[in-house]
Structure formats: C-alpha cells, structure tokens
Amino acid sequence: MPELPEVETVVRELRPQLVGRRITALEVSRHRLRRPWSADWLPQLIGRRITAVRRRGKWIILELADDQHFVLHLGMTGQLRLHPALEQLAAHTHLIARLDGGRKQLRFRDVRRFGCALWFGSRKLLEEFFKEARLGPEPFAVDSRYWRQQLARTKRCLKAVLLDQRVLAGIGNIYADEALFQARIHPAKLAKDSSGAESARLRQAVTQVLNRAIARRGSSIRDYVDGSGRQGEYQKEFRVYGRAGQPCPRCRGPIERIRLAGRSTYFCPRCQPLRLKKESARSSDTSQKRAIGP
C-alpha cells in the first residue's frame, strides 16, 4: 500500500504539471471503489482550475477554484498520473479528468479498487472530514510532548501505535519496521514502557526514514509508480522489511519475521532486543505468542 513517502512523491511530481490547468471533463468507470461514486460532485469539478496540489496523511488533495476540493486515496494499488490524451487507456482505469480542452488527462488507475475519490465544497468541510476520521498529526511536525503522551497512555505495542493513523498520519507497515530498526527498539515493546530516550529516538527515526524514502521517490514493491510513471528506489535500501532470514546490515545476524497488529513485522533480535519491565513482561509474552502466526 502506498504510504506517506509514495503519496508525497506523487504530489511533488504532479504539482508543477497540474497547477493552473482547468478540468474540462470528467469520466468515471461503472465500477465502484472503496467508496461509491457520487453524481452530486461530478458537475462541481468541471470548468474549475486547479490551484494547489498537496497531501494530508495518505490523501492527495487537489484544491480548485472557488474553495472546491477533490481528494483521492490510492488505497493498495492506486496510481495517479498525467497522460497525453492519445495514449492508450490502461486496464483498471476508473477516473479520467480531461485537462486543457482534452490535450492532457489525469488518470486514476486502481487494480484492486481499494482507493477512492471524494469532493468537498469547502476547506471547512474537508477539515471536518479529517477531524471525524481522527487523522493524527503529520510525523514531521509532531510535538515531542504529544508523542510521549501517546506512548504513555496505551498498552499496545509500538508497531501497533505507529500503524495507527489517529496517532500519526501516513505511516504504514514498511516504514514502521524501518523506523523501529533505526531506533534499535523491538516492535513488540509496549508503548507505555518506552523510556524518554527511546521515545525521542523513535520520533527522530520516523522522520529520518520518511525523508530518506521521499528522497528516493518511495518504495516500489508491486504496483506503485510516481506521477510520471517511474518506480521508486527506496526498496533497494530496506534494512529489515521483507528480509526475513537475510543478514542484518548491522550485526549480520538473521532478520526475523513475526506477526504484530495483524501485519508481518521484520526486525533484528540482536539489534532490537526486547527488554521488558517486570510488571509488563508476563502480559507482553502472552500477547506476542498470540500475535505470532505461521
């Protein structure tokens, strides 16, 4: 699934190509996505000029004239690219926005159809949507006090906290594992047992890993390509994710895979030892045994 670095890359690629262009026509497929198409908003977009392209969490926001907002989520396999109008239409293309009188087309392709497209008639309505979704702050601007409080108040493991979009917006499975490895913290460690130093290390590791991934245009594992159709490069630099049984880049011990928060989780048991507080050890052992599966 595209995470923050992939979505940010698409936004940076599309911004100079889209800002100033006008949507002259809009077509949607007969297949519904994660959310059904709404006939109400289609006419609202036609004829409006794109004034800004930005990101919030894993959402792509096209700001239009007259305070209109067209918002897309890539889901698991979504691709958002600008194409020449005469270029052949790829299978699983579910939305076509014709630009500049039809010379260019912004196409949204989604094989598994877990993505979606929404319209909001004002910034206020858009912000209310994110508020109702309880979308957390961006990782780059998270306050250290807020972060420490979030960890202290939950009995969940750190991997689960990082995946929770209500705590931090945009982080998914790949970058949670990579950040925990960089911070040298076991993913099964209970968040409330994290020391102040561990909390600070993890917060810093999250931003460093995300920035490195953005610089490499994200990670292409299956379907992801950026706004120009290029694959990302960060998958070549994974230290633990997807590397079960391979040597750790630090200690050369084998990377292990367990299941936490319903997701495959990769870590180095030597570099990320699980040190438990006495009062938490028994409960954590029980929860980890339940989490680890075949």
User: What percent of the chain is helix, strand and coil (3-state, nearest 5)?
Assistant: 35, 25, 40
Please give the torsion angle defined by the CA atoms of residues 121, 127, 133 and 134, in that order, rounded to the nearest 10 degrees. -170
| Strand order across the 93-99 sheet | 23-28, 93-99, 104-110, 78-84
Maximum CA extent, the chain: 68
Which residue type occupies 96?
I
Q: What is the 3-state secondary structure (H, E, C) of 172-189?
A: CHHHHHHHHHHHCCCCCC
Contact between 154 and 244 under an 8 Å Cβ cutoff? The reply is: no
For the annotated catalytic residues, the residue numbers are 2-3, 58, 263
Three-state DSSP at 26 gives strand
CA distance 20 to 74: 23
